[in-house]
Structure 1
């Protein structure tokens, strides 16, 4: 575990794999920390420098007061990669992490050579929905959203196992200000125009049972980028790297091989 002091915020990050390998960066979803990727990492191929981090207000990163802007979240990722001297990475972003990925790719073509946009979109939801969620959290804490969120996050079969409780517990234990701050960032983001200008290798991944970013929404965003590839994971929800880690890693491995990253 390491902390990167980038001024306004201090980001918790981890580097695993080959320190001299090809860089791959993972940005996780709202209400989770970098452990989101734990089960999948052992299935990734050798020769990768694997970088994960907790976005502001989540996990072990610092918690500036809400609200946050998407621009701030993108700047955080940009500053971390500059600190780690990362260029030409493959950036894997899930949900809000996918929004960060799109924003960073538009801003820093030197840092990002390819994208994996997982369970995400150029625009997620509408401001009124996010305001309703923020109001609910302010009144009843994150617990007020937890059960409904689990239904959107996971397939019905996964929710019958006790494993889903790990993710429920992770969600409700995130800092309230960090959760609210990132809700505000998502609410204010519409990347349709900038994302449609991207020209870099892109893989889209969707889960057939994703209630947060349904497959058609993910596909619509992926099709904004010429030459992109779309993969649908059957019987998986919003966090397919949790439900099907080996299958998810296989999609990443094939993409990394196709673009010559490994």
Structure 2
């Protein structure tokens, strides 16, 4: 896969953790993760992608190794982080792969900076995810009891029944429970305040939608309805996978992504 360098990139008052792999002169593919995770959710997918791509993963603010400015955050701030990151890296014409919260950032960035984005992969996401009341309740419970107060319920929404019964769950529980309360609740507030229905329906670019058949956070029909807002988009369902199909079915996920990249001439 080539080099895999990690560094911090200043995006205006705080820094984001970036990992870059593949060919630095290749066509860029940017990956943005879900709330409560970090860039490691893409590790297994990258191993199955074609050579010759410039593969960029970053931790959203308040996640992973990125800085955690005081919350709450607005979605505009998360989109601005991505915009400034790509500007700092001199990235234009990227394929942006966003999962859940990362998929909302992807939509916002495409709406704002179409020069940076030539195509989107909207994975396990929507223009609006849950209601503000649901998010406010989750935020209050986490502030009162820490990440462990919501971790079991979250992991049940995230992963298929078979995966939850396997030995790999300990890794993802630790990832979630070690997430900072400030970073999680800050980004949760951004999700709670976002509804991209109207601006996303105005987008005109290649889009691949990906859903997991057992996703309890963004069910397949919600993802399907979201990508259907954009003419010419395609929807793919990964069976026996939940909210993080890149973790549960990385080979299948990489195959769908590779096919899309080839279809649009990105590789």
Of the structure 1 ranges 111-120 and 156-165, higher mean CA displacement relative to structure 2 is found in: 156-165
Shift in Å, 1:7: 1.7
Kindly report structure 1 stretches of 4+ aligned residues shifted beyond 6 Å: none
Aligned to 1:172: 177
Shift in Å, 1:47: 1.0
Distance of 2:13 and 2:184 partners within structure 1: 18
Q: Unmatched 5+ residue regions in structure 2?
A: 1-5
Q: Deviations over 1:203-225 (max 9, x none)?
A: 00000000000000001100000
TM-score, structure 2 normalization: 0.97
Aligned to 1:108: 113
Q: Unmatched 5+ residue regions in structure 1?
A: none
Distance of 1:6 and 1:148 partners within structure 2: 33
Distance of 1:230 and 1:7 partners within structure 2: 36
Aligned to 2:255: 250
TM-score, structure 1 normalization: 0.99
Aligned to 2:229: 224
Aligned to 1:190: 195
Where do 1:1-12 residues align within 5 Å?
Answer: 1-12=6-17
Q: What secondary structure, in the 3-state scheme, does the structure 2 residue paired with 1:50 have?
A: strand
Distance of 2:202 and 2:139 partners within structure 1: 32
Aligned to 2:3: none
Shift in Å, 1:8: 2.3
Q: Deviations over 1:171-217 (max 9, x none)?
A: 11011100000000000000000000000000000000000000000
Aligned to 1:18: 23
Aligned to 1:90: 95
The answer to whether 1:133 aligns with 2:122 is: no
